[in-house]
Structure 1
Amino acid sequence: MSLKSRTISGVSWSALARYLSQGIQLGLAVLLMRLLSPEAYGLLAMAMVLIGFADALKGMGLKSALVQKHDPTPRQTSTVFWFVLLFSTCLTALFVGAAPYAAEFFGEPNLTGIVQWLSLLFVLGTVGIVPRSGLEKEMRFYALAKVDVASVAMSGIVATTMAFTGWGVWSLVAQRLVQVTSKNVLVWGYSTWRPGAQFSFTAAKELIQYGGNLTGFNMVNRLARAGDDLLIGKFMAAGSLGIYNRAYRLMMLPIKKVIRAVSDVLFPALSAIKDDEERVRRIFLRTIRAISFLTFPMMMGLIVVADVFVLALLGSKWESAIPIIRILCVASLVQTLANPTGWIYRSQGRTNWMFRWGLVGSTTLLGAIILGVYLGSIESVALCYTVANVLILYPVLTIPGWLIDMSFMDVMRAVCGNFAAALTMAGGVYALGLSIPAVWPSWIVLALQVGVGMGLYWGIAHVCNLSAYGELLEIGKERWNALRKSRAAT
């Protein structure tokens, strides 16, 4: 099978898994948010600030290093496995001991046990790194699709049951532990790789150097991404942090899922053709066009329907999240274009560039968050963070573009049609909202606006013959024909 066919097949299976898991996660998020209080989510967010910093360290960027390297030896893969397992075990022990100090920092005594249990994620998360990288390198995305959907479903059942029976924040802790554990059990079941009793730092030196720069970027990036939770948790109430954190996570959920679905497949594909600069650039621009075709209407539509979305699905106790969601949706439009640039750095083996830019970009974002906290509200934090994202978009796209001869305007031209279509759709949905009587129930208004928005966006894409629309239809036809041929052969 050609690289193109394997990539299309991989994207199809990966996207299917992401959409299924996204649908399950969104449904679970809505259900759990109706069952739990903002304070419960605030406690979890405080714990995940600390866990997240160490989580960026646990894999040392070595999964990407294994995928990027064409032919890692058995000695190298075994060394990576034992190295990250030992390192993550040390992290777990460190955080178990440091948990009381974290609780004291935030002024929340209940945080001690939460941090200690969540620190198990370090070890649980690393045991599947090497076998999963092997499945990705082999482009066995059908197997990974089943792994991801099953783990989300199993963890969701556990979390929902616990929330119904009054476990509060512990249902959210269990959800994360069960999801990671079940995912790794399934990955090991599908993988034929097993670690050998061998360790050679010299053999894995190249991989560790690559992963070290990527880890450095992940750390500084995590500082910027989690700085808002850290500072809001320290200087504001747990309920305020819960509202901000859930608004951010809901806004990012579709973005992360769509980008991750493509990333798992595209990174191995780009790594395989890394020396063909023109081909890498062409594939990247087509991909960013396809991603924005899917995410732009989601975010612009959510800006318009945020009020009825929150009231219909989450309830009035989350009403304070409405302006936060609207502001952060603008940031998500920017991040749709910014986040995938990591594929360029990693596939071209230039994680050193990625780390250096990460220092600059993350410092800018962190400064904006500090300003927002100083101004004294979660709305100001969201606004400052969004403005900073817009201001750094040009260098975010331009610097990695130098590696594949891609300019900022190349990206803008690739997505401008999708942006105009999404903006027109959002305008139509907004006009519809103004004409609906105020006495109608929120869920009816939401269903009507979403349905009309989807139909309107499809109509615009079809009539205007948007490039991404045609490309996605082509991919869909190829997959359908492939499935028909495989069924006929059996």
Structure 2
Amino acid sequence: MSLKEQAIKGAIWTYIQQFGTQIVNFVVSIFLARMLIPEEFGLIGMIAIFMGIGNTLFDGGMTSSLIRSDNLENSDYSTVFIFNLVVSIGVYCIVFFSAPLIAEFYKQPSLTKITRFYCLSFIFSSFGSVQNTMLTKTMNFKKQALLSVPAIVLGSTVALVMAKQGYGVWSLVGLTLVNTFVLSCFLWITSSWKPTLVFSLVKFKKHFKYGYKLTLSGILDIVFTNIYQIVIGRFFTPTTVGYYTRANQLMMMPIGNISTALNKVAFPIFAQLQNDEMRLRDAYKRIMLLVLYIINPITVLMLVLAEPITVLLFTKKWLPMVPIFQVICLSGLLYPLHLYNLLILQVKGRSDLFLRLEIIKKVLLTIIIIISFYYGLYGLLWGQLFFSIIALFINTYFAGKMIGYSTQNQLLDMLPLYILITFVGSTIYLIDTYIFNNFTDIIRLALSLVSGLTLYVGLSYLFKVSCLSELKNIVLRK
């Protein structure tokens, strides 16, 4: 099977997995948002940072090292498995004993028990992390999809039953615990590989040397990705955190899933091309532009239609999140660019540079947060967008140098797509405001979405946008 065929097949099954799980998650979240109150989502949002750090520690750099390394032996996998398990237990113990301090920091006593139960997922996930990595390395995304979708369905069923019975925030805890436990069980049962009690110090040093910098970078990223939940939770209210968390999750539903799905396919493919700069640059450019072509219209239409989307999905009690959501969507337009530029650093084995850049960016973000905090919640949100723009120039500069694709050239290649979607978004905003505004929310949304996508595809065809032909060829498997 050619590299292109592998990419297409991998992308299809990755999307089935990614969107299968996320569609279930999204539908369930709609029901939960209607049954629960924003404050209960806010409580979970306050401890999201600990979930992120835990997952990064045992599913970050070491597993990435396995994906990019050749001639692996059982001792490689067993060493990483043992390390992941020990680290997950250690991190959970730290979180368990720190839970009262976390609750005191946020002035929410209920967080002690919530944190202790919620973070059990660290240990559950660690049991299946290496098996999942092996599937990624071999690009067996079909199996990943067939295992992950049933797991999330079971977790979602438990969450809905608990919410219906009045368990409140604990239904969200149950969702995560059941999902991670069942998925790890599925991975363990169906995998032909089983860990042995072999811990090779040589193998550990090899993978740790590459992986620890990525892990530290990942932790920094998680801390600062969730820094807004921390600041908002400490100085505002759980309800405000709930609005921010729900807005961010809604934005990441299409953006994060499309980008992450292609990222899973792109990383092993880029790894195979890491020594061929021309082919790597070409593959990077094509994937990046295609992702932007798919994501941009979705993001802009969500921004323009934020109010009817919110009311239709979550009811009017969530209306205060609309302006928060719109600012977050602006930052979301740059998300794929960050992701794929940083992927180049990983593929090239420059985890040292990856870490240094993350430290520099986080220092800048800290300064921006301190300044923007004095302008309230929306000052923080606009500061987040400003930081994203600065970080984009940093990422594209260093990644571009490695593949001969400068920041200027990247921006010039992307500019036509951003001009196109800005025009489409502005047009739909005017049509929705002056023509569709008097219709019911569902009709208003349907008419606006159909009009927007028709205009987008029509203009793409008229101006011969290459991404449209690329997408057509992928769909037709050419």
C-alpha deviation, 1:438, in angstroms: 4.5
1:99 is the counterpart of 2:99: yes
Counterpart in the other structure of 2:226: 226
User: What does 1:110-129 correspond to in 2, within 5 Å?
Assistant: 110-129=110-129
CA contact (8 A) 1:143 1:190 kept: no
Q: Which amino acid aligns with 2:82?
A: W
Q: Which amino acid aligns with 1:45?
A: G
Question: Counterparts of 2:26 and 2:300 in 1: how far apart (Å)?
Answer: 18
Q: Which amino acid aligns with 2:465?
A: L
Question: Counterparts of 2:197 and 2:437 in 1: how far apart (Å)?
Answer: 68
Counterpart in the other structure of 1:409: 408
Instruction: Decide which moves more: 277-286 or 44-53.
Output: 44-53
Q: Which amino acid aligns with 2:160?
A: T
Counterpart in the other structure of 2:69: 69
Counterpart in the other structure of 1:436: 435
**Structure 2 vs 1, CA of residues 439 and 470 (structure 1 numbering), >3 Å: closer, same or farther?**
closer
C-alpha deviation, 1:419, in angstroms: 1.8
CA contact (8 A) 1:17 1:146 kept: yes
Instruction: Decide which moves more: 210-219 or 429-438.
Output: 429-438
Alpha-carbon displacement from aligned partner over 1:436-480 (angstroms, at most 9, x marks no partner) = 36543222212221222122222222222211111111111117x
Question: Counterparts of 1:411 and 1:180 in 2: how far apart (Å)?
Answer: 38
CA contact (8 A) 1:25 1:152 kept: yes
Question: Counterparts of 1:25 and 1:294 in 2: how far apart (Å)?
Answer: 21
SS of the residue 1:340 aligns to = helix
C-alpha deviation, 1:293, in angstroms: 0.8
CA contact (8 A) 2:60 2:218 kept: no
Alpha-carbon displacement from aligned partner over 1:325-350 (angstroms, at most 9, x marks no partner) = 11111101111211222221111111
User: What does 1:366-385 correspond to in 2, within 5 Å?
Assistant: 366-377=366-377, 379-385=378-384
**Structure 2 vs 1, CA of residues 60 and 258 (structure 1 numbering), >3 Å: closer, same or farther?**
closer
Question: Counterparts of 2:190 and 2:464 in 1: how far apart (Å)?
Answer: 41
Counterpart in the other structure of 1:313: 313
Instruction: Decide which moves more: 157-166 or 40-49.
Output: 157-166
CA contact (8 A) 2:135 2:144 kept: yes
User: What does 1:192-211 correspond to in 2, within 5 Å?
Assistant: 192-211=192-211
1:353 is the counterpart of 2:353: yes
Question: Counterparts of 2:199 and 2:86 in 1: how far apart (Å)?
Answer: 12
Question: Counterparts of 2:342 and 2:273 in 1: how far apart (Å)?
Answer: 16
CA contact (8 A) 1:132 1:191 kept: no
SS of the residue 1:478 aligns to = coil
Structure 2: runs of 5+ lacking an equivalent: none
Question: Counterparts of 2:435 and 2:157 in 1: how far apart (Å)?
Answer: 37
Instruction: Decide which moves more: 32-41 or 402-411.
Output: 402-411
CA contact (8 A) 1:461 1:469 kept: yes
Structure 1: runs of 5+ lacking an equivalent: 480-490
User: What does 1:475-486 correspond to in 2, within 5 Å?
Assistant: 475-478=474-477
User: What does 1:14-413 correspond to in 2, within 5 Å?
Assistant: 14-59=14-59, 61-377=61-377, 379-413=378-412
Counterpart in the other structure of 2:421: 422
Which consecutive segments of 4 or more residues in structure 1 shift more than 4 A? none
CA contact (8 A) 1:155 1:179 kept: yes
C-alpha deviation, 1:319, in angstroms: 1.0
C-alpha deviation, 1:49, in angstroms: 2.4
C-alpha deviation, 1:415, in angstroms: 2.4
User: TM-score, with normalisation over the residues of structure 1?
Assistant: 0.94
Alpha-carbon displacement from aligned partner over 1:260-288 (angstroms, at most 9, x marks no partner) = 11111110111112111111111011000
Q: Which amino acid aligns with 2:77?
A: T
Counterpart in the other structure of 1:470: 469
C-alpha deviation, 1:102, in angstroms: 0.9
CA contact (8 A) 1:301 1:453 kept: yes
SS of the residue 1:202 aligns to = helix
The percent of aligned pairs where both chains have the same amino acid is 27
Alpha-carbon displacement from aligned partner over 1:196-235 (angstroms, at most 9, x marks no partner) = 2211122221101111010110111112101111111111
Instruction: Decide which moves more: 344-353 or 20-29.
Output: 20-29
Question: Counterparts of 1:303 and 1:60 in 2: how far apart (Å)?
Answer: 32
- Kindly report the root-mean-square deviation, in angstroms, between the aligned alpha carbons of the 2 structures: 1.6
CA contact (8 A) 1:288 1:414 kept: no
Question: Counterparts of 2:452 and 2:267 in 1: how far apart (Å)?
Answer: 32
CA contact (8 A) 1:286 1:414 kept: no
CA contact (8 A) 1:78 1:195 kept: yes
Q: Which amino acid aligns with 1:405?
A: G
CA contact (8 A) 1:224 1:363 kept: no
Question: Counterparts of 1:323 and 1:366 in 2: how far apart (Å)?
Answer: 23
